[in-house]
Amino acid sequence: MTALHLPLALAGAPLLKGVINRTKAFYAGRTGQPVLQPYHDLARLLRKGAVYSKTTTWLFRAGPVVSLASTMAAIALLPLGAVPALVSFRGDIVLFAYFLGLGRFFTICAALDTGSAFEGMGASREAWFSALTEPVLLLGLAAMVKLTGELSLTDLAASLGPQAMLEPGGAAILLVAASLAATALAENSRIPFDDPATHLELTMVHEVMVLDHSGPDFGFIEYASSLKLWALGSLVMGVLLPVKTGSQGFDLLAGGSSLAALAVGVGVVESVMARLRLTRVSHYLAGAAAFSVLALMIVQGNP
């Protein structure tokens, strides 16, 4: 029963988007689309042909493939609460962050390959946000490494838990959870960093980078973004609410439900908040970085 996280994530990730959409619809007083709609969208995209811009090269076609592969590889390194990851070793935290980086590198290059001003703009903003989220993520995880003394995500998640919060330095867990949540929202282009529902190219960040993709390529991108939401979501929930029942089956179920709860939370945030003005994003991420540093300072004195 080990390493079941990867199949669950691969199967369940699109559901999170469905939950977010339903939550937003509920807030807006609409019925909203079915929860399983993202799966239908993916199936429809995978059945289509494709249109490519004449400006593009093979890199544009490689972008979605590499970003999906690297997101899958990143999930293979992630535990879900007490459910261990497929691969776990000391320092897998760093490889996780850099796998996401690889996907981003190719997404940005694919966007620049179209030669469109809008996609260039989105690419520039994506590079900007992610340059700031990377230290937030790794410093926050460094604080957790100090707290638990463990260097792999699986062992780290296993040593966190409700009792860890009551021990000295437990406040750091909340700070890190907050900064990881900010990272997750920024990396997944959600409000308050980016609005996935916007319809104006000028205001989009992530969505504008993939304007030219179509058919199976776009399906890959959509699926990769669902997986990324699952990945960073399980990182946040692993720090904040690691459920450990002792039985792998229950743990898996509990982990999945905690992610669904997180998706509801994201939906609520998207319903009650507006998007930040673009220049404010840096301040917001600097705040998250300050949380990570503060957490590291709190646990620094721990034996």
**Interface of this chain with other proteins, residues 126 to 155, rule: CB under 8 A:** 127-128, 130-135, 137-139, 142, 145-146, 149-151
**CA–CA dist 265, 259 (Å, integer):** 10
Question: Which tokens belong to 196?
Answer: 């996935």
User: Shortest approach of other proteins to residue 264 CB, angstroms?
Assistant: 30
User: Shortest approach of other proteins to residue 295 CB, angstroms?
Assistant: 10
Q: Please pick, from the candidates 8, 66, 80, 153, the single residue that binds other proteins as defined by CB under 8 A.
A: 66
**CA–CA dist 280, 180 (Å, integer):** 18
Closest listed residue to residue 14, CA positions, set 260, 214, 210, 207: 260
Count CB atoms within 10 A of the CB of residue 215.
16
User: Shortest approach of other proteins to residue 271 CB, angstroms?
Assistant: 28
Residues numbered 221 to 280 that lie near other proteins (CB under 8 A) are none
161 lines the binding site for other proteins (CB under 8 A): no
Which stretch in 5-13, 51-59, 228-236, 241-249 sits in contact with other proteins by CB under 8 A? 51-59
116 lines the binding site for other proteins (CB under 8 A): yes
Query: Which residue number, 64 or 256, has a Cβ lying nearer to other proteins?
Result: 64
Amino acid of residue 163: Q
Spatial CB neighbours of 273, under 8 Å, sequence gap ≥ 6: 191, 192
Residues numbered 194 to 223 that lie near other proteins (CB under 8 A) are 201, 211-212, 215-217, 220
Q: How far is CA 222 from CA 226, 247, 260, in A?
A: 6, 33, 18
Q: Please pick, from the candidates 3, 10, 65, 294, the single residue that binds other proteins as defined by CB under 8 A.
A: 65
Query: Which residue number, 83 or 281, has a Cβ lying nearer to other proteins?
Result: 281
Query: Which residue number, 65 or 241, has a Cβ lying nearer to other proteins?
Result: 65
179 lines the binding site for other proteins (CB under 8 A): no
User: Shortest approach of other proteins to residue 156 CB, angstroms?
Assistant: 11
Torsion (CA) 272, 123, 105, 189 in degrees, nearest 10: 10
Helices 117-148 and 171-187, packing angle to 10 deg: 160
User: Shortest approach of other proteins to residue 23 CB, angstroms?
Assistant: 31
Binding residues for other proteins, total number by CB under 8 A: 84
Q: Please pick, from the candidates 51, 171, 197, 273, the single residue that binds other proteins as defined by CB under 8 A.
A: 51
76 lines the binding site for other proteins (CB under 8 A): yes
Count CB atoms within 10 A of the CB of residue 220.
22
Residues 144-181 as b or e (16 or more Cβ within 10 Å = b): bbbbbebebbbbbbbebbeebeeeebbebbebbbbbbb
Spatial CB neighbours of 250, under 8 Å, sequence gap ≥ 6: none
Site mask for other proteins (CB under 8 A), range 96-115, x = bound: -xxx-xx-xx--xx--xxxx
Query: Which residue number, 33 or 282, has a Cβ lying nearer to other proteins?
Result: 282
Q: Please pick, from the candidates 6, 9, 78, 123, the single residue that binds other proteins as defined by CB under 8 A.
A: 123
Beta-ladder partners of 83: 80
Q: Please pick, from the candidates 2, 57, 247, 257, the single residue that binds other proteins as defined by CB under 8 A.
A: 57
39 lines the binding site for other proteins (CB under 8 A): no
